[in-house]
Amino acid sequence: MLRWVRQQLGFDPPHQSDTRTIYIANRFPQHGHYVPQKFADNRIISSKYTVWNFVPKNLFEQFRRVANFYFLIIFLVQLMIDTPTSPITSGLPLFFVITVTAIKQGYEDWLRHKADNEVNGAPVYVVRSGGLVKTRSKNIRVGDIVRVAKDETFPVDLVLLSSDRVDGSCHVTTASLDGETNLKTHVAVPETAVLQSVANLDKLVAVIECQQPEADLYRFVGRITVSQQAEEIVRPLGPESLLLRGARLKNTKEIFGVAVYTGMETKMALNYKSKSQKRSAVEKSMNSFLIIYLIILLFEAILSTILKYAWQAEEKWDEPWYNEKTEHERNSSKILRFISDFLAFLVLYNFIIPISLYVTVEMQKFLGSFFIGWDLDLYHEETNQRAQVNTSDLNEELGQVEYVFTDKTGTLTENEMQFRECSINGIKYQEVNGKLTPEGFSEDSPDGNRRGLVKEEELFLKAVCLCHTVQINADQTDGADGPWHANGITSPLEYYASSPDEKALVEAASRVGVVFTGISGDSMEVKSLGKPERYKLLHVLEFDPNRRRMSVIVESPSGEKLLFTKGAESSILPRSKSGEIDKTRIHVDEFALKGLRTLCVAYRRFTPEEYQEIGKRLHEARTALQQREERLADVFNFIERDLELLGATGVEDKLQEKVQETIEALRLAGIKVWVLTGDKHETAVSVSLSCGHFHRTMNILELVQHKSDSTCAEQLRQLAKRIKEDHVIQHGLVVDGTSLSLALREHEKLFMEVCKNCSAVLCCRMAPLQKAKVVRLLKTSPEKPITLAIGDGANDVSMIQEAHVGIGIMGKEGRQAVRNSDYAIARFKFLSKLLFVHGHFYYIRIATLVQYFFYKNVCFITPQFLYQFFCLFSQQTLYDSVYLTLYNICFTSLPVLIYSLFEQHVHPHVLQSKPVLYRDISKNAHLGFKPFLYWTILGFFHAFVFFYGSYLLMGEDTSLLGNGQMFGNWTFGTLVFTVMVITVTMKMALETHFWTWINHFVTWGSIVFYFIFSLFYGGIIWPFLHTQDMYFVFVQLLSSGSAWFAIILIVVACLFIDVVKKVLYRHLQPTSTEKAQLTEAGSGINCLDSMCCFSDGETACTSVRRMLERLMGRCSPARVNSVCKVTEETCI
């Protein structure tokens, strides 16, 4: 039981040794000395709490907050010593805050548990007791044999045992892990590959020994020992045998594999960062402000204690005749009395620390988060997906983002390649209705209805169909002679490719008449306009990033030996000796300017003697034991020369809708965009250019393919020098994973200097944890910018969890990113509204909410402090205890809460169409020291006016009733409290720009409620109250005309200066946001209103009509946008 509890709390790791031994099908040795190793179960856990640790962990997190911890101390002090107020005044609000927060956070974690249960409860098939047993994913154990069918996701990390193919191979796509959509081939060892039935697998006796789990996706070291007929056969296991959780089976009917890593020990889970509590910059500012207010509180308490003893130095004040001390009090220690008095003053002034601030912020965040889900502009109709909020604690952080880190595949792109154009023999072609049509021709042209392909076109298309790594769905290879259209153009074949652009090219060739129909043995089969041809595949010269090309050598049906090569123009054109080289180069540049991915295609004919020489050199290089890679590179260069250029292709990696506009908007808002992808260098650069991340005029710097610290450092120094010399030009940086590792090891500062001086950064060939390291590097830099990471696959989870704000895309790569993100959206384009509108509103709302809370609590407690000067620091309270308790809970809580939910100081369409307004709130501008100081000084000023205004007007010799009865201390305190409630409520009204009927109801309703409550509370004798000092006090106060005069005069005096300040600043030093407000009002867009500001000739009733128009949606976005275009200079 103790071990189980320790495991649940995460203190007892399930394994200790460096290797693990796995008995397939859990057939353990029968001898008694074997002790089975303990392995993790197959549950995936993205939640933060369990049933066992929720209470202690949640309480620990909540009491890390300064206000909560402070009120806990105050509550304990009130329990231990005699204080002026009851412990309930501190304990009840504290309990309420802790409970509400715990319920909210528990609900959010329950949603994570629910999502985890969906994954852990997914049905899987396991081989047990000679048959296939259906069970849940969470029940898979290490050693179980699991069956996975085509297009299913692997539920655990498996070692491949067999597939439906004789050679034991299968094809897998790892898009959700590393972002690559290409197919990867995995193979089983020969001894298990033949076991294709459940019955045969059930008889398998084998043991796997492998390393303990590690995060590296591309590393796996192990061996399998198979017992056959009293003989043990040992085979090595590598990454080609390991099928990773999260990858998807493709082009294979089914496979069987043995589970080696399960649950949180799978490589996918190890690439998740451990889930930590994210705290927003606003919350950190709140804690800083609370510490300042705590210092003010301690100062007031110490000063009051000192002044009390200074006053009591005179004997007549130390023990007046009406308050004689007891014998115990006379003999008590002076130090203890001093401490006791200090703590009593601390309790008396403790409400300057606003505990209800936290619960109001929690409610605002929780309720406000629903607006994101309800926003129809963030709804994707095609997939029927709404925006999703997983963590509402970070809403305002959306308004503070300075860096966006985005994945490429599936985030910026649709993960779909489309053939657009090609150049053949110096002529540009486009595909029109399944035909290659030269540029400038149409179907109506004389050449538009050609039936066949000319020789150059056919040879080009054959090169495209033969020089690739495309595979065909195994279900369709026998059906290659299936249905055709009349001209033999349309193929029903389903292609799988090692790169998506290869697939797009082969599919395009099939549509225009040259169809790749599959590989049979060592032959490649092609149909050219319905006529089958068979080419013998002799050699494959694999692609590598140094050559930037790949080639195949084939034997044509006529016996001719041909080399077909395709690759980047920089690697093909210099090696070409004939063909339309100059024209093709111009066409390639034109394709690139359109953002297309370009490849050049060439070929070469070999004489028998040349081919014999090539075959000999290739054999020697491939069988060499020393320097094999260098020798192969030399042979490849020898073969791929004297080429005849056939043409070039232009393929578009289809971007998501409005990606370019979104990235440009982020730039205008002052946000830097970094693209972090696991894809190849060339692919990543091409997409960056097409999506506008890199501009054509940008100077692209590269830090790639470095193998040593010295070369990496030298390149970094050169890049830094180039940036300083060309500081006028915009720079973009490209860095790959290996170079990044070297740069971060010893040269982190230099690397950061280069990155910060670049307008855009692209990191390619990135492992998942490297993505998180880059985000952490920026997070922890001296400027400490707010970061946002967005991605759609499991390979993005680490950076999503590392960034201040993590956003998951509901894409085609599973739900791992969505489940581990803070927010989830269906498309990248929705990011602009999420930041510029929702982020802007949330930040403005919560910044005002936080500072208003401090302001109203300064107004609340400062008169209490001033009152002590008039009562000999006897710790007499100015307000009744009921008023003390209800001030923050009832009388002043709703107006600011409703403001923080509905306030829209600028119309949403203006914010979205003018991203530059986002700069006004960047770097926590509204919660800096200056705004905080303004609100604090304003609070002290209003408090002094409340107290001394009431004292001067009503404090001395003022008759309240006709019978001559005078003001008492409770009447005076009630007058100060009444003025205060009205003033702080009206102050909130002055801050409100967007008025709804709810705002009107809670603003004026709060004041009315205070008056009604006070009349009932003081007008009735309540039997359950021990004392009733307030009996009939409020009624008597309201019966005095002079009291009404004082209330009106003091409220106007407080607010007049604030109104004057607002008017002067708005006209003399307006911000971009205030200019936008004025422009909007002047243009006749009746969407904004302020309680104290109407257009010429309007009445207050008109403002209500305008509010209703806005609520009913009568604002035209087109109208708003047109106004912004006309007045662009004014907005900026």
Which among 518, 536, 413 has a CA at the least distance from the CA of 474?
A: 518
Instruction: State the DSSP string of 46-75.
Output: --S--TTTHHHHHHHHHHTSHHHHHHHHHH
Residues contacting residue 430 through CB under 8 Å, at least 6 positions apart: 420, 421, 436, 437, 439
- The answer to whether 68 touches 283, Cβ cutoff 8 Å, is no
Kindly provide the residue ranges of all beta strands, DSSP E only, lying in 937-1060, ordered along the sequence.
none
* 242: three-class secondary structure by DSSP: strand
Sign of CA dihedral 8, 10, 16, 18: positive
- The answer to whether 182 touches 300, Cβ cutoff 8 Å, is no
Residue 747 DSSP symbol: -
As given in the structure block, the two tokens for residue 1099 are 């009445």
The three-point CA angle 926-929-932 to 5° equals: 70
Residue 397 DSSP symbol: G
Cα–Cα dist 198/85, whole Å? 77
Q: What residues are labeled active site?
A: 407
Which among 36, 40, 34 has a CA at the least distance from the CA of 12?
A: 40
- The answer to whether 1111 touches 1104, Cβ cutoff 8 Å, is no
* 173: three-class secondary structure by DSSP: strand
3-state percent breakdown (helix, strand, coil) of the chain, nearest 5: 50, 20, 30
Which among 1059, 856, 860 has a CA at the least distance from the CA of 349?
A: 860
- The answer to whether 821 touches 807, Cβ cutoff 8 Å, is yes
Sign of CA dihedral 903, 906, 911, 915: negative
**H helices of 121-165, where?**
none
Residue with tokens 């509905």: 902
As given in the structure block, the two tokens for residue 898 are 């409703």
Which among 756, 802, 814 has a CA at the least distance from the CA of 775?
A: 802
Alpha-carbon distance values, 204 to 22, 164, 195, 537, 850 (Å):
13, 17, 8, 37, 67
Helix or strand (DSSP H, E) at 83:
none
- The answer to whether 189 touches 241, Cβ cutoff 8 Å, is yes
Cα–Cα dist 426/409, whole Å? 33
Beta bridge partners of 224: 208, 235
- The answer to whether 198 touches 4, Cβ cutoff 8 Å, is no
Cα–Cα dist 215/13, whole Å? 17
The three-point CA angle 600-606-612 to 5° equals: 130
- The answer to whether 541 touches 639, Cβ cutoff 8 Å, is yes
- The answer to whether 885 touches 92, Cβ cutoff 8 Å, is yes
Taking only Cα atoms into account, the Rg of the chain, rounded to an integer number of angstroms, comes to 37
Cα–Cα dist 838/369, whole Å? 9
CB burial class (10 A; 0-12, 13-18, 19+) of residue 128? middle
**H helices of 468-580, where?**
500-511, 569-572
Q: What is the dihedral of CA 365, 367, 372, 374, to 10 degrees?
A: 180
Q: Give the number of other Cβ atoms within 10 Å of residue 699's Cβ.
A: 16
